Amino acid sequence: DSVYLEKYLTTPRHIEIQVFADTHGRVVSLHERDCSVQRRHQKVIEEAPAPGMTEELRRTMGEAACRAAEAVGYVGAGTVEFIAEGGALSPGGFFFMEMNTRLQVEHPVTEAIFGVDLVREQIRVAEGFPMSFAQEDLVINGHAIEVRINAEKLPEFAPRPGKITQFHAPGGLGVRMDSALYDGYSIPPVYDSLIAKLLVHGSDRSAALAR
């Protein structure tokens, strides 16, 4: 018989690493996203880079994620998800959870801080082209935060279909809105309650929060 033990984390952080691999043997890490703000095990706010992240831990987690992708011969965009111990992030304090073999809802925060188009890159790699960037090309620029906007009923926050009677999409410098909403749109009762994503980018975390 076997006994499996899970380490109990008192202040868990959900940190994931965006990886990308091509058919020419290259695997890169586009660093981390912090997805710790969740409700009912669903992410609500995602940001990059992760607050409190050190260069040592970023390198360690990135290398671990790239090794995982290399081990299975992965090609394309993927996300290696880790759970880490709380406020004082440390090199030995993170643990593998799973790998999502696709682009995720929160990929625009990574696009924002690196100035890359991951959807375009995914198509290029699928066509057999090498990645258009190398690890040394990826330099973090500022801070990005994405907020998921859900159609829900208060106060229990249950998914709620219905009709959009008025819709105004924010815009301007450093603001991106991903949505198919419009005045008169009927939210269907199937799938999930996510109807829009609001992304902001600023020179640092305070600027992104203010925006």
- Catalytically annotated residue among 39, 59, 67, 102: 102
Q: Report how far residue 36's alpha carbon sits from residue 121's, in angstroms, rounded to the nearest whole number.
A: 27
Owner of token pair 């996203």: 33
Q: Supply 207's token pair.
A: 């600027």
Assess whether 205 carries a catalytic annotation.
no
Query: Rounded to an integer, what distance in angstroms lies between the CA atom of residue 95 and that of residue 65?
Result: 11
Q: What SS3 class is residue 2?
A: coil
- Helix (H) / strand (E) element for 54: namely none
Helix, strand, coil proportions of the chain in percent (round to 5)?
20, 35, 45
Distance CA 56, CA 62 (A): 10
Tokens of 28: 């890169």
Q: Which residues contact 184 (CB under 8 A, 6 or more apart)?
A: 163, 164, 165
161: left (phi over 0), alpha (psi -120 to 50) or beta: beta
Q: Looking at the annotation, which residues are catalytic?
A: 102
